[in-house]
Chain A
Amino acid sequence: MSEGQEEDFGITAPALDAEALVREVRERVRRKTESGAYKDYDLAGIASLDYEEKLGEEDFLRYHLQVVERLSDVNYGDFEIVSKGGRFGRVEVLLKNVIWKLLRFYTYRLFSQQREFDCQISEALQSHYRWSRGEIDRLSREVERLREELRRSGPAAD
């Protein structure tokens, strides 16, 4: 950790040695570990995090589910048709409005059905993810609990 140019600065607040405080934190953790203070901790959530980090796939799944959720609600309603200027600007807008109204007559039913389907699929994917996430959490805790039971039942259990 080098912050070369940042090292030279003046501080008026009372002196504090952050490194000494971090050493104290680590010493407290060491003492508590030795005394068994953490043995009843439920660390399944953190354990599953380590496991997921090795897998790395859930990052992508979460990201793409978010994107799908936002993309599924396609806006096929009216939008403002504006002119890019020029001599025929107003005629261009008029013509585009007529074309859009004609198109909308033919495409509305198709688009609305497609959007309904997309939204349902997106919702199904989201709820499937939430369900499986919950199940993984529950099973991770169960595995951690069973491991703990095995550890307590004898030295050879692990």
Chain B
Amino acid sequence: MGRPLRIGLVSPRFEPVTAVGAEVQIRQLAQRLSARGHGVEVLTTCVRDPLTWKNHYHPGRVEEEGYAVTRFPADPHRVSRRFLEADRRIRRGETVSRGEEDHWAAGLGASAALVKHLGVEGEKIDVFIFSPLVCGTTFFGLPSVAPRSLLIPALPDAPEARLEIVRERLRLAPLLLAGSETERDLLLSAADLEPDRVATCAAGVDPMAEYHPRGFRQRHGIEVPFLFYTGRRSRRRGVDRLIEYASSAARNGGIDLRLVLAGEETIAIPEHARDYVLDLHFLGEQDKADGLAAALATCQPSPTEALALAPMESWLAGRPVLADARGAVTAARCRLSGGGLWYRDAFEFEEAVRLLLEDEDRAAAMGRRGRDFVLEKWSWERALGVIEEACAGLAGGRP
């Protein structure tokens, strides 16, 4: 490591327990960069609930495990009819005017107090790391400190990626870190950037010290084989499709199988699928790891991905991954590592499950191959090396 730096991590939320990839990553970065001797300050909002964006925490600065967290109130009166209309049109992929984009961006958890702080106190920090891109803290915070900023966009291939405000912010940051080669290609093409502006190693994953698959089964009363999903549970992430496919494999295909869901937000589980789906909501880190190790496989149903951490955590737990073929990141990693299978419809999903159930040795071998792949390409040690080098370059000759 070079000289210790003063690093500011800017994120819309900073929660002790979260299933959102970019937020997990910011917490990990805070812990790991401070453990390596850097002075880390997390700059975030008082928001806890990403649906309401209401201020929950007290504003101010608190010390946590070796780093500081400063919270600023999120702006009130976020939602207006104009915002909702723009949000709806953008999510549908319709063309909107630049004015509508600005109005929409202001509604995504912006904090004028945080932006003002960056302008006034920003000089005390050597380098800022902003993540994710599509949120108010990055849209409005980045411009004031852009020359010393590293951007981790965590940008999925969704309609937002084609907005002008997104392209502008991508061009503002001198260096971007992508979560995969697929995301890197998207960033380069979306903003027409030179290839050396985007590096691929925005995150890392490390194995837990231990995994207790039997303990997980006992705690949650699961005796039959199960598929695991952890992360945001929304239609956009393909979770409703996963529920239908898994329940069809059990109901129509006669496979003794359950789908176990963990993570943020809720999704309506249809009546005909309820016997086959177990919803555990939030799990602690160890419980989640135990679940990954106990599962037949972890599912990645999302057609849009940026970091795709859950499949990598599954591989570290020694279990294979079952990915939707439309999700370019994980399907490509399955192909490359031999650590998982991918499916295009409910029938292929069912047969892939049968194939995993038929031969446990093969399923375990797939898990091991995935684990080797992650340990070599996606360890935190490697990611931190890339991030520290980038930060040192951005800090330049600052004292």
Q: What is the interface of chain A, defined by CB distance below 8 A to chain B?
A: 1-7, 9-19, 21-22, 24-26, 28-29, 32-33, 38, 40-43, 45-46, 49, 56, 58-60, 62-63, 66-67, 70-71, 82, 130, 133-134, 137, 141
Complex-state Cα separation, A25 to B251, whole angstroms: 19
B235 touches A59 (CB 8 A): yes
Name which residue of chain B comes closest to A45, CB basis: B244
Give the Cβ gap from B295 to chain A, nearest Cβ, in Å. Answer: 18
Complex-state Cα separation, A50 to B73, whole angstroms: 41
Out of B336, B343, B372, name the residue touching A25 (CB < 8 Å). Answer: B343
Complex-state Cα separation, A130 to B182, whole angstroms: 38
Say what secondary structure dominates the interface of chain B. helix
- Which residues of the partner chain B approach A25 to less than 8 Å between Cβ atoms? 341, 343, 348, 351-352, 355
Name which residue of chain A comes closest to B367, CB basis: A13
Q: Using a Cβ–Cβ cut-off of 8 Å, how many residues does chain B contribute to the interface with A?
A: 64
- Which residues of the partner chain A approach B352 to less than 8 Å between Cβ atoms? 22, 25
Q: What is the interface of chain B, defined by CB distance below 8 A to chain A?
A: 49, 51-52, 54, 58, 88, 91-92, 180-182, 185, 200, 234-236, 240-241, 244-245, 247-248, 251-252, 265-268, 270-273, 328-329, 331-343, 346-348, 351-352, 354-355, 362, 365-366, 368-369, 371-373, 376-377
Beyond A1-B332, A3-B181, A66-B266, is A16–B365 a contact (Cβ under 8 Å)?
Answer: yes
- Which residues of the partner chain B approach A17 to less than 8 Å between Cβ atoms? 338
Say what secondary structure dominates the interface of chain A. helix
B235 touches A62 (CB 8 A): yes
A6-B200, A58-B235 given; 14 more Cβ-contact pairs under 8 Å: A2-B181, A3-B329, A9-B376, A11-B338, A13-B368, A13-B371, A18-B339, A42-B252, A43-B252, A45-B247, A46-B346, A49-B240, A49-B241, A62-B235
- Which residues of the partner chain B approach A29 to less than 8 Å between Cβ atoms? 347-348, 351
Complex-state Cα separation, A18 to B332, whole angstroms: 11
